[in-house]
């Protein structure tokens, strides 16, 4: 498939900036500036993971919501509260757990237990 934007990709640009912060900036600073550099590195790592995983995650999430005839997380929560999905309790629990795991894969995969 042909892409509109020339290389480097957004993912490559974000990765390059994160690596530069890790290797060149972080070791040379201390205190407050080092803390803020670490925060920036973590944010960029999250963006990298979302760029890598986000499209498939969003497709799977939308399909999961649709399986319960929901168009949003709020609608799913309302159906759970009212008991409308009791007959699908195991499927709902699996979907919610998988959704949380997918969010953690982007936010901070270190929080996931070995799978």
102, part of any domain = yes
Which tokens belong to 106?
């982007």
Which tokens belong to 40?
């920036």
Q: Tell me the three state secondary structure of residue 69.
A: coil
Can you give the residue range of the structural domain that contains 80? 10-109
**Overall pTM surpassing 0.85 (yes/no):** no
Give the model's pLDDT for residue 89: 96
75, part of any domain = yes
| Phi, psi for 60 (deg, rounded to 5) | -65, -40
The pLDDT tens digits of the residues spanning 56-103 come to 999 999 999 999 999 999 999 999 999 999 999 999 999 999 999 999
Helix (H) or strand (E) segment spanning residue 11: helix 10-20
Give the model's pLDDT for residue 7: 86
5, part of any domain = no
**Whole-angstrom Cα distance, residue 72 to residue 75?**
5
Q: Which residue has the tokens 């290797």?
A: 23
90, part of any domain = yes
The pLDDT tens digits of the residues spanning 23-51 come to 999 999 999 999 999 999 999 999 999 99
Q: Please give the tally of structural domains in the chain.
A: 1
């Amino acid at each position: 498939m042909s892409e509109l934007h020339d290389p480097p990709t957004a993912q490559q640009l974000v990765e390059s900036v994160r690596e530069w912060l890790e290797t060149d900036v972080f070791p040379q600073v201390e205190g407050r500036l080092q803390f803020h550099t670490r925060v920036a590195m973590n944010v960029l790592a999250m963006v990298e993971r979302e760029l890598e995983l986000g499209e498939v995650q969003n497709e799977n999430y939308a399909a999961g919501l649709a399986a319960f005839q929901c168009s949003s997380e709020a609608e799913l929560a309302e159906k759970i509260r009212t008991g409308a999905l009791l007959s699908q309790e195991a499927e709902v629990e699996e979907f919610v757990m998988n959704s949380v795991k997918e969010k953690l894969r982007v936010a901070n995969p270190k929080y996931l237990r070995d799978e």
